[in-house]
Structure 1
Amino acid sequence: MKKEDCFYLGKIVKKYSFKGELLAKLDTDEPELYDNLDAIFMDLRGNLVPFFIESSQLHKSDLLRLKLEDVDTEADADALIKSELYLPLDLLPKLEGNKFYFHEVTGFKIKDINFGEVGIIKAINDSTAQALFEIDRDGIEILIPMNDEFIVKVDRKNKTIEVNTPNGLIDLYLSE
């Protein structure tokens, strides 16, 4: 399994018991969707390694308590702390309407109701306080905040996202 065929689920943050149990912080709004997994992939030194899950349960709302097969001691558990967790993309729940996964919209066209076609989404920047569409318009980078109020329609069939940005936002990037 390669990383590009998977999505980031979260990270092992600490040990839970002396029997090798671990707590994972999940990067999701719906941790309950991942409560009954059979297996998970862990990034160990750049390789995705599968681990079978003996048991799991939600712990304090956003943590998942995991008991992994063949992880039976504190030393086994210590070796896995800070490891990133991944699952195959086909396990992602399908989103409807204007909700989307960041990886899903890379390559989509952005069209603004007033401006017209803006360009192609080359990436999502989520390292800022507000996630941003990074759009390429013939070599010029345009950043549009991923604000629910701006997103009018996500058209998966035609790979377009229609937005309604404040007047002048796009022009800021085009006037030199």
Structure 2
Amino acid sequence: MTKDECFFLGKIVGKFSFKGEVLIKLDTDVPEMYTEMESVLIEYNENLVPFFIERSSLQKSSLLRVKFEDIETEEDAEDLVGAFTYLPLTMLPKLEDDQFYFHEIIGFQAIDTNHGNIGEITSVNDSTAQTLFEIKKDGKEILIPINDKFIEKIDKPNKTIHLSTPEGLIDLYLG
């Protein structure tokens, strides 16, 4: 299984006990959904390796305390600290029609109420304070904040997102 077939679940941020338990900082708004997993994929030596879970429980709000099979000592656990964890895309919960995962909308056409088709969504930048659609049109990049107020409609079958952006925003990029 490759990373393209998976979604990022979280990062192993520390050891929890001398019995080989680790803490995974989950990258989710609903950590409760991930307390009953049987396994995760851990990025180890540039490969995704399945690790089976004996038990897990939430610690604080977004930390998952996990005991993996065959990880018995503090030293074994130390070897996993800093590693990224993944799950297959098939394990993502189904969303409502007006909701989307970032990976789903790559390749969608962005249609603005005032400018018409403003290009193809090539990426989502979530490394800034405001998450952004990265849209390419005629070699130019347009950055649109992902904001519920701007999103009019998501048409998954036709791979389009209809936007109503503030006056002047798109002109900054195309003008």
1:45 and 1:101 mapped to 2: Cα distance? 28
2:19 corresponds in structure 1 to 19
Percent of residue pairs bearing the same amino acid type: 59
1:109 and 1:94 mapped to 2: Cα distance? 22
2:45 and 2:146 mapped to 1: Cα distance? 33
1:33 corresponds in structure 2 to 33
2:161 corresponds in structure 1 to 161
Moved over 2 A (4+): none
Within 5 Å, which residues of 2 pair with 1:1-176? 1-175=1-175
> Scaled by the length of structure 2, what TM-score is found?
0.98
SS in 2 for 1:148: coil
Any idea what the Cα deviations from partners look like across 1:16-50, whole Å, max 9, x if unmatched? 11100011000000001111000100001210000
SS in 1 for 2:4: helix
> Scaled by the length of structure 1, what TM-score is found?
0.97
Deviates more, 1:8-17 or 1:147-156: 147-156
Q: Is the 8 A contact 1:10 1:27 kept in 2?
A: yes
What is the deviation of 1:97?
3.1
SS in 2 for 1:61: coil
Q: Is the 8 A contact 1:98 1:151 kept in 2?
A: no
Q: Is the 8 A contact 1:13 1:82 kept in 2?
A: yes
Q: How many correspondences in the alignment?
A: 175
SS in 2 for 1:99: coil
What is the deviation of 1:59?
1.1
2:98 and 2:114 mapped to 1: Cα distance? 19
**RMSD of aligned Cα (Å):** 0.8
2:140 and 2:22 mapped to 1: Cα distance? 45
2:77 and 2:127 mapped to 1: Cα distance? 29
Structure 2, unaligned runs of 5 or more: none
